[in-house]
Chain A
Amino acid sequence: MIDIVFQLLIFFLLSAKFIALEGQLASYLPKDRGLQAAFSKIEPDEVIFFLDWIAEESNIMTGTVRCQTINYKPPGDSSGRDYEFPSVDAGGTRRIPYSPNRKLVQYGESVDMPGYQIPDFDLIEGYLLHRHQLYETKGSGKSIPVTINVSDQVPMQMVANIVDICTRIGISNVTIAAKEVPID
């Protein structure tokens, strides 16, 4: 009898922890776009990121993740190009501080994934916070829409980082879109 009780106890302990160790980031597709995803409208205040993968010529395993955004001109920039966030070297097994508690994280792992140049996520976070606060002063009561246009080769971790930043700031309206060519 006691044996069986212990078995049940152990079983429930183990099975309850099985999935619970994983965190979950909520992201919701916009409700109103519904079935016509291909013809979605761009809201004037929407933040749009373009993530691109630029492979290195000498070593095809590594490269640069380029992050651009439209609707933004830093002060003093008179060129007509989309703003591009500066890169940080996360090559090899280098550990990069990741906000807000400056925890050191590692992007490259092994031979299969030797690390790459990443956009500066601190700047992205600052920029998103700025845009979020501007949007809130308008008082629509909704969260600012963020769209991540990601090209096929970009590693998943980059998308997860941006969704993570959005969750931290309190932006719930994050969408992943098909690759579109930025308008120059």
Chain B
Amino acid sequence: MKKRKKTDDNFEVKMEMTPMIDCVFLLIMFFILTTQITVNIEDVVLPFALEGKVQQHKDTNELMLILNVRKNRKNAKPSDRSGEIVYQARVYNPKELKAKLDDEVAYDAAPPPRGRGRTKEEGPNGVQLSRLEILIRYDKSVRSEYLRQIFEQCQKAGIYKLKLATTQPEG
């Protein structure tokens, strides 16, 4: 009996460090990776549509640029329903957007060391068309002015594959 009591007194709680470190690494990894993913995706209320197809990417060849149009957060009256075009967490005006799209088209068509090397498609009348695809994530209550701007700039840059991001209607 006496002996037993002695062992109870000597009992020490050892802290296991390994799972703790695991957890920490997990959290670090999670935050690093999610911040990289969400850079292209702004917080936007998408318009609903019944026919929107959920697409899985089969190969890396089908890559897509993501343009966001979100509500204007600065000095805007809600009645204007104004928005802003955001690409890779930067706000663009139409002129800058054209320059950026031209860059992306050039990068896409350039041979491998300096680009992706996807040759342009030949359209009717010898028009050179880029293989780039653009996904437009447009806030449903923002005025559609920016959609027209994006379409115009894409047409000038020779991009013709455009997609609108949608959700299923609620309820």
Contacts and interface: CB of A to CB of B under 8 A. Distances in A.
The answer to whether A and B assemble together is yes
A109 B161 CA distance: 31
A133 interface: no
A181 to B, nearest CB: 15
B142 A25 contact: no
Contacts of A7: 22, 26, 29
B94 interface: no
A35 interface: yes
Given A34-B125, A35-B127, A23 B148 contact: no
Interface stretch (B9-17, B46-54, B107-115): B46-54
A138 interface: no
Contacts of A178: 148, 152
Interface residues of B, number: 60
Contacts, number: 184
Interface string A68-99: 00000000000000000000000000010010
Nearest to B169: A105
Contacts of B147: 150, 156, 159, 176
B155 A29 contact: yes
A160 interface: yes
Contacts of B55: 20, 24
Contact of B49 (A155, A163, A176): A163
Contacts of A184: none
A153 interface: yes
Contacts of A167: 49, 51
Contacts of A23: 49, 51-54, 165-168
B100 interface: no
Interface in A118-154: 150, 152-154
B135 A24 contact: yes
Contact of B78 (A37, A61, A176): A61
List the 8 closest pairs (A to B, CB-CB), nearest first.
A23-B52, A34-B127, A160-B47, A164-B49, A152-B145, A32-B124, A31-B123, A167-B51
